[in-house]
């Protein structure tokens, strides 16, 4: 069932479903989340089932206020507080030590918990209404392209969800930045909507996970956010005549296409003016549109890995990673 998030009754119904162990898809500023009461292990288990998500992949817990934070986390450092003051509510997830009452299923048995305070008014209203912390991964089958509108959720999960709150398209379009605060230095576990430069201005030096190519964070699998159609990222040299004769292919272009190969059946332009924020906002919907056309192959132009470009290229690389 899809309800408009603008109606107060939709929010009260969604809050009631969460409080009684159900699962609700709702908009955040990044992507749509699939949420449940983070302190109810049975409800959390339903999320893993609905998404077919492996149990070793921990969930992000969403909160509306500091009181809830204190109920989940035993202590905060000065640096944690500075980051929260600067970026919360907003698309920054912090990995922090956890209290014992957080169910192991939420954190995949880790001694830490990933927490975020979303800025989207519907997410905030739902959190306040439910009155519990909400564990929420993206509202899509595990491994597929993340959902940035209610229709994407309905297509992927359908009646496996008790309710979908439709709050329109997500304003940012790529997931939160995940920063681990559990070690000596802050460590970037997933690039996202808040850039590394912004974080370094507040937190000082930040380690970049995955620099060695290893899986540094649980759940950060090489292949993720993936279309069903195989996707290849173009290199600067390979920008011309990449489509083999007879292949039906689509192109994901970053800006007004500089690509001269006219054999593409379809071209999606993420931002005609080359604005990375606009590109991030359109990324997943454009990938889904190309994927739905049933082409033999998709090609994506790369962008500079500066600012939001780091998160965009991270998602494209995982989409392009081979099935293992």
* Contact set with Mg ion (CB under 5 A): 138
58's contact among Mg ion, ligand AMP, none, with CB below 5 to 8 A by partner kind, is ligand AMP
Question: Residue 115 touches which of Mg ion, ligand AMP, none (CB < 5 to 8 A by kind)?
Answer: none
Nearer to ligand AMP by C-beta: 17 or 59?
A: 59
First to last CA, the chain: 35
State the residue for tokens 């997933």: 190
Q: Toward ligand AMP, which CB reaches closer, 68 or 112?
A: 112
Contact 164, 154 (CB under 8 A): yes
Nearer to ligand AMP (CB atom), residue 59 or residue 311: 59
Asked if 280 touches ligand AMP (CB under 6 A), the answer is no
Under the phi-then-psi rule, with left for phi > 0, alpha for psi from -120 to 50, and beta for the rest, what region is 296? alpha
Residue 217 interaction partner, one of Mg ion, ligand AMP, none, beta carbon < 5-8 Å per kind: ligand AMP
Helix-helix angle 78-87:196-203, to 10 degrees? 130
The residue number whose beta carbon is nearest to ligand AMP equals 219
What Å distances lie between residue 294 and 230, 247, 289, 297, CA to CA? 11, 12, 10, 9
Which residues have C-beta within 8 Å of that of residue 94, sequence separation ≥ 6? 80, 83, 84, 114, 115, 116, 179, 180, 181
Select from Mg ion, ligand AMP, none the partner in contact with residue 130, using the beta carbon and a kind-dependent cut-off of 5 to 8 Å.
none
Does position 95 bind ligand AMP by CB under 6 A? yes
Residue number, 107 or 271, with CB nearest to ligand AMP: 107
Binding site for ligand AMP (CB under 6 A): 57-60, 95, 107, 110, 112-114, 137-138, 175, 178, 180, 189, 217-220
């Amino acid at each position: 069932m899809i309800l408009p998030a603008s109606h107060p009754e939709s929010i009260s119904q969604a809050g009631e479903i969460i409080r009684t162990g159900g699962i609700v898809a709702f908009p955040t500023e990044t992507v749509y989340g699939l949420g449940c009461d983070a302190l109810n292990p049975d409800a959390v288990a339903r999320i893993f089932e609905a998404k077919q998500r492996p149990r070793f992949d921990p969930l992000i817990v969403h909160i509306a206020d500091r009181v809830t934070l204190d109920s989940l986390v035993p202590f905060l450092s000065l640096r944690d507080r500075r980051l929260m003051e600067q970026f919360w509510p907003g698309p920054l997830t912090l990995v922090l030590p956890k209290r014992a009452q957080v169910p192991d299923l939420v954190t995949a048995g880790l001694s830490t918990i990933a927490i975020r305070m979303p800025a989207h008014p519907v997410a905030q209203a739902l959190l306040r209404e439910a009155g519990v912390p909400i564990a929420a991964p993206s509202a899509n089958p595990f491994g597929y392209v993340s959902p940035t509108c209610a229709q994407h959720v309905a297509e992927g999960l359908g009646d496996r969800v008790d309710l979908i709150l439709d709050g329109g398209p997500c304003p940012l379009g790529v997931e939160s930045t995940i920063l681990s605060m559990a070690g000596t230095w802050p460590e970037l576990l997933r690039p996202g909507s808040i850039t590394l430069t912004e974080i370094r201005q507040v937190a000082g030096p930040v380690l970049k996970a995955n620099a060695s190519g290893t899986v540094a964070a649980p759940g950060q699998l090489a292949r993720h956010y993936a279309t069903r159609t195989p996707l290849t990222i173009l290199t600067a040299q390979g920008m011309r005549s990449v489509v083999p004769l007879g292949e039906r292919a689509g192109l994901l272009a970053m800006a007004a296409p500089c690509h001269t190969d006219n054999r593409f059946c379809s071209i999606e332009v993420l931002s005609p003016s080359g604005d990375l924020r606009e590109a991030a906002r359109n990324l997943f919907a454009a990938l889904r549109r190309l994927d739905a056309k049933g082409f033999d192959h998709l090609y994506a132009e790369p962008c500079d890995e500066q600012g939001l470009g780091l998160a965009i290229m991270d998602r494209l690389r995982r989409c392009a990673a081979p099935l293992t």
